Structure 1
Amino acid sequence: MNEQHNTLINELVNFLNGKGAHVSFAEAVEGLSAELRGKTPDNMPYSIWQLVEHIRIAQWDMLEFSRDAGHQSPNWPDEYWPEEAEPASDDAWNQSLSQIENDLNEFISLLKNADNIYEPFAHGSGQNLLREALQIGDHTAYHTGEILAIRRMLGAWK
């Protein structure tokens, strides 16, 4: 691979890991007390738990779409958003966070090992690995901002 390609991959990895001009997902959920995970402030449609689960489901879907031509995405929007406002347990919370981290690492591995991030997938409608990387990063950053806004409303952010 050439130097420009390596530079792009490194920048995408930094973007996906939330390194840059804003708070990362991991930082946004770090230290959040269990009693606040399911709180939905006035005039907000979701709790932090629902946002975390939505990030997990959407990122998993984009990862699987990127590596498996036979992948079937969940039905939009119902299967991308949990109905429950709070996690069933600390284990459910921790499992969700763990899957987000693991799936992100899997996607980064795909990205680093791809021969051509611009080549459209044989399945889909023109998507490629670069597009999926940008979509994962953008989607996670957007909802991370919402998590921070909710934490501020709940008095649980600096």
Structure 2
Amino acid sequence: MQANERKTIVSELITLIETGNAHVSLDETINDIPADFRTVIPENLPYSIWQLLEHIRITQWDIVEFCLSPDHKSPKWPDEYWPEKTDSISDEKWEETLEQIKKDRNRFFDLLNNDKTDLYSPLPHGDGQNIFREALLIADHTSYHLGEILVLRRLLKCWK
């Protein structure tokens, strides 16, 4: 692969993960959510905004760790990928989760930007996964759950 082609692919992957392209970005999705709405679970729905956001963090962290460390042990599915229901979440914990999402994204972006990272060969410690696939997985998984957060915000009447 030529350097120009690689730079284009990496740039597109990073843009997809950061902005969602045709979807609303993480920052836009969670901007200005009133603290008392973070843990509300609307009738007939299984999760709160908080649980979805924390699930995004846990899953993205797991993907990034899998890519970076052959010794990584993933959490137990599904129990350890979803936080328990809670009546409230502190501003500190909310911000900590957002910061960890951004930190893990940046760790993954560093991996993508490293010219020595092979985007397409299977990872030696996986069962066919490659970095390109994992980048698409982060983008796809995140956009899916951000869409759910937007639906929750609409139901709670706290969206534009």
Q: 1:137 to 1:87 in 2, by over 3 A?
A: farther
Runs of 4+ in structure 1 off by over 2 angstroms are 84-88
Q: Deviation at 1:87?
A: 4.9
Equivalent position SS for 1:45: coil
Instruction: Report the residue type matching 1:55 in the other structure.
Output: I
Give distance in 1, aligned partners of 2:25 and 2:87: 22
Q: Deviation at 1:2?
A: 2.1
- Aligned position for 2:129: 127
Structure 1 residue 144 corresponds to structure 2 residue 142: no
Structure 1 residue 64 corresponds to structure 2 residue 41: no
Structure 1 residue 41 corresponds to structure 2 residue 42: yes
Q: Deviation at 1:19?
A: 4.4
Tell me if the contact between 1:46 and 1:85 (Cα under 8 Å) persists in the aligned partners: no
Give distance in 2, aligned partners of 1:48 and 1:39: 7
Instruction: Report the residue type matching 2:157 in the other structure.
Output: G
RMSD over aligned CA atoms reads: 1.2
Instruction: Report the residue type matching 2:50 in the other structure.
Output: W
TM (normalized to structure 1)?
0.96
Tell me if the contact between 1:118 and 1:130 (Cα under 8 Å) persists in the aligned partners: yes
Equivalent position SS for 2:138: helix
For 1:60-118, what per-residue CA distance to the aligned partner results, in whole angstroms no more than 9, with x for missing partners?
00000000000000000000000123554111111001100110111111111153100
Give identity over the alignment, percent.
49
For 1:8-48, what per-residue CA distance to the aligned partner results, in whole angstroms no more than 9, with x for missing partners?
11100100102411110111001111000001111111000
Structure 1 gap segments, 5+ residues each: none
Return 47-56 or 20-29, whichever deviates more.
20-29
Aligned residues: 158
Structure 2 gap segments, 5+ residues each: none
Q: Deviation at 1:4?
A: 1.5
Tell me if the contact between 1:18 and 1:141 (Cα under 8 Å) persists in the aligned partners: no
Give distance in 2, aligned partners of 1:95 and 1:5: 33
TM (normalized to structure 2)?
0.95
Give distance in 2, aligned partners of 1:27 and 1:49: 15
